[in-house]
Structure 1
Amino acid sequence: MLSFDEVLKNLTAKKRTSSLLMGNGFSMSYDKDIFSYNALFNFIASKDDALINKLFGAIKTKNFELVMQQLDTTISLLNAFDADDDLKKQIVNAAEHLKKGLLDSIQQLHPEHVFKMAEEKSAICAKFLSFFLATGGHIFSTNYDLLLYWVLMRQAVPDAIDGFGRELLNAQELALGKQEAEWSGLVWGPNTDKQNVHYLHGALHIFDSGKDILKEQYDSAGYILENIKTRLNDGIYPVFVTAGNGDEKLNHIMHNRYLTHCYEELSKVDGSVVTFGFNFGPYDEHIIEALNKAAHAQSKKPPKLWSIYIGVYSQADADHIESIRHKFHCKVQIFDAKTANVWCEN
């Protein structure tokens, strides 16, 4: 099995654009007591929410995605058999309640603000991320939390562009010299042509107002998590994909223009992709589909995906990747994710 240093040497020798695809293992490697599914389950269980406890008890799992998949399947079956509308409404409400519980738990478990993250950890992670951006590559994350955003912001990682910016609101009045410049909050759009940081399943700090995609930020009112909490208390929820299976996730993605853009960027990724903390589980078929679209580019010139280096933590993980190797339409290599040193030096 390759080490991460060997992966970097291979990519550097080929002078190839290299992108990063991250899953929950990125956050778990920062703090597994906060970001593992078991930690989230245990936290929600401690809230003694009768409906959520009933759902997990009935399906006998701690896996949120599996519960969501079962609920989605149940709704589809009820629709197919023209079941009672009240029953369907109960299931839909249960699914929404679970999403809210998951979102609230992530927000409450989260480190309070960016400065709670150790400077050393943040700097080491920035170095890890910078390699990919320096090659002209992209960073793709399926995580909902703020860790990636915080590292990029705190360390001012060069060339990291998430597509958000401010728009001039009174250009005509300014041109006539009648007013001082007035700028919008952070909206998605001004920098999409240069965007190289993509939250494939949304994130805590990204909201859809119906008109604009907004990014929550620090301001004089308080830290970003405080501002997010204010929105949650007002019943405004982030862009957040929690559907159970890959088809349902893709359907959700294609109904949001921000998510669609991010997914399309993955579908035309160039060079090589390195994964960290992403296990290509049974609910990730839409991600494999996007990568295969990139691999099927008609030209032998960029953009075209040539290879993927998949990080694994155990022999069981490696065996799983071997069992699905045939699903990938590009060269697949496996490396030891424990050698990547994302948050700390060996």
Structure 2
Amino acid sequence: MTVKILSFDQALKKADSYGKKHLLLGNGFSIACKPDIFAYGSLFEEAKKTMPKELAAIFAAMGTQDFEEVIRALQHAAAIVFAYNPKLKRTMARMNGDAEKLKTDLIQAVAGRHPPRPNDITDDRYFACRTFLSNFVGANAGGKIYTMNYDLLLYWALMHEEDDPAEFIVLNHDDGFRKDQDDYDAPYVEWQGEGAAHGQNIHYLHGALHLFDAGYQLQKYTWVNTGKALVDQANEALKKNMFPVFVAEGDSKSKLTKIQHSAYLHHNFKSFAGVCQTKPKDGTALFVYGHSFAKNDAHVLDQIGRGKIAHLFVSLYGDPSNKANSAIRANVERIAALRPKAFPALSVDFFDAASAKVWG
């Protein structure tokens, strides 16, 4: 079956008839920038390669790929074992040692699959990316950006400032984080909660590697405030038993469970669901770039089909008839079929990912 592929500019022109244009990013956004380090499977699978069999067995026994869940389970188990039998000091020490090793494994997996600093990406690539993003959060765009990635590339692109003022692209972006009012000079900013997130238009649906759970607040470590590489920030946070807030790979149900137990993640999820359900007078267009529409993200993607989004624009990379793109098209058809009969049918177009020149 022949499928018509639009260029990105053609898709934008077609979307101009709608009141709002929003963007949902998948891992292809990161792969387009750094294919040598982001074209990999799950973070868990990377860490598993050097993980002792016993630790891998614990993940399997608990039915999870969530590092934080297993680390905390080991720490709690060590305390419980000691309470039942103080003589089992070696077992307790081994559990605590394995918990610390998992922290190291997590950092090594992250650091090995991420540029350490923003300036590892050239200015011209940032300029191209900001040009792409401006279609959704530019000076007069008024859209929102949702990402299922937990790397820092989107954050770095949004914060980048061009050396040449003539090339500066205005982006109106707000991720809901502000200075800590009790510690204004802190090396982080804090999420102000749903009450102060009314203007938030940047949403990390699965968290991000620069967001850390401090228990009483959600902290975002910033390059501007620290000047420290990602791996150094993460190491310091983990030493304080603060974990990065991100949803590890797993099935859709497991991801949704994690999201529902985090005020920040749940707020972002509700925002996306709200965008899908709201029907502005002129309708809404949603662009999805770099996502396979796999079922492990059905908790997010099914919102599109069940909602009132008028037009869905989906990127395809390469031959639209190849195996990967055929799977994407089939998955999109499944989602479109979820549309309730009481709502207008979902219009779908595919566009050439390369023509968007996301990173130049």
Q: CA RMSD in A?
A: 3.4
Q: Does 1:230 align with 2:232?
A: no
Matches within 5 A, 1:1-346: 1-12=5-16, 14-38=17-41, 44=47, 48-51=50-53, 71-72=63-64, 101-102=105-106, 104-134=108-138, 135-155=141-161, 157-169=170-182, 182=184, 185-189=188-192, 191-218=196-223, 222-225=227-230, 226-269=232-275, 271-295=284-308, 305-313=309-317, 314=319, 315=321, 316-324=323-331, 325-328=333-336, 329=339, 330-344=346-360
CA distances 1:151-173 after superposition (whole Å, capped 9, x unpaired): 10113752111011124339xxx
CA distances 1:155-213 after superposition (whole Å, capped 9, x unpaired): 3752111011124339xxxxxxxxxxx56641111751100001000000111222111
Deviates further, 327-336 or 110-119:
327-336
Under a length normalisation based on structure 1, what TM-score does the superposition of the two structures give? Answer: 0.75
Please state how far the C-alpha of 1:39 moved relative to its aligned partner: 9.5
Note if contact 2:304-2:335 (Cα within 8 Å) is conserved in structure 1: no
Structure 2 Cα separation of the partners of residues 24 and 96 of structure 1: 29
Q: 1:335 to 1:242 in 2, by over 3 A?
A: same
Q: Match of 1:311, SS?
A: strand
Q: Match of 2:142, SS?
A: coil
Runs of 4+ in 1 over 4 A off after TM superposition: 38-45, 52-55, 67-70, 93-100, 182-185
Note if contact 2:107-2:234 (Cα within 8 Å) is conserved in structure 1: no
Amino acid at match of 2:310: W
Q: Match of 2:235, SS?
A: helix
Q: Match of 1:115, SS?
A: helix
Gaps of 5+ in 1: 56-66, 74-84, 171-181, 296-304
Structure 1 Cα separation of the partners of residues 258 and 236 of structure 2: 25
Amino acid at match of 2:63: L
Q: 1:341 to 1:217 in 2, by over 3 A?
A: same
Q: 1:221 to 1:333 in 2, by over 3 A?
A: closer
Give the % identical residues: 32
Gaps of 5+ in 2: 66-76, 82-95, 162-168, 279-283, 340-345
Q: 1:39 to 1:247 in 2, by over 3 A?
A: closer
Please state how far the C-alpha of 1:215 moved relative to its aligned partner: 0.6
Please state how far the C-alpha of 1:72 moved relative to its aligned partner: 4.0
Q: Match of 1:7, SS?
A: helix
Q: Match of 1:283, SS?
A: helix
Structure 2 Cα separation of the partners of residues 95 and 27 of structure 1: 30
